[in-house]
Chains A and B, each alone.
Chain A
């Protein structure tokens, strides 16, 4: 079983649509959770951290369910500029705040006019 699994995608949606990405992780020792976005042939960029209580940043809402080991990202009113690959990322608990990130393969989103 992969450590971080995501919807395979691709997701093709019209502008203004709401789109949801799901992700599951296998290691219960995972401590920190993130969504990154990666544009074609570019580096990953942090979209948002994911907190246990859930958190929102403008059109983006992230949820975490530790019991189910499940993470989600909701994008409302999608824009053309949201087209990218969305990466679900976790970090294990090695003590402290440092440690390597474990990436899902990503879900490609294409927003069409």
Chain B
């Protein structure tokens, strides 16, 4: 059973370009979360999605950032017009469908995408 997959693992962009980060959740998982880790900082929540729905985007910057989780295919985190401050590690996590049990809230993380903005 493959874990959470993210690609690319490393992404270099120049200021003003667009960055697209992809996340494929674990098989059978229907909840996807995106987190950002700035250098020397803790992970910060960005957005929580289920298939075709954004459930909570309270951690997402208001401008330039968007996320989707289409019916088919991976979840995409899109950053338009990147700036140097966007340089960070972006982690995706997934968790199983809600079954009413407390054990379903464990989140499993992908290896991350390290974005460098020149």
Residues of A within 8 A of B (CB): 4, 32, 34, 41-46, 49, 87, 91, 96-106
Contact = CB atoms under 8 A, between A and B. Distances in A.
A43 B31 CA distance: 18
A105 B44 CA distance: 10
A93 B75 CA distance: 25
A103 B106 CA distance: 14
B85 interface: no
Given A43-B91, A43-B112, A44-B91, A49 B45 contact: no
A99 B48 contact: yes
Contacts of A49: 106
A97 B101 contact: yes
Contact of B111 (A4, A42, A101, A105): A42
A45 B112 CA distance: 12
A72 to B, nearest CB: 18
16 contacts: A34-B106, A41-B114, A43-B109, A43-B111, A45-B109, A96-B100, A98-B95, A98-B104, A99-B48, A100-B45, A100-B56, A100-B59, A101-B33, A101-B43, A105-B41, A105-B42
A1 B9 CA distance: 34
A48 B43 CA distance: 18
A43 B33 CA distance: 14
B55 to A, nearest CB: 8
A100 B43 contact: no
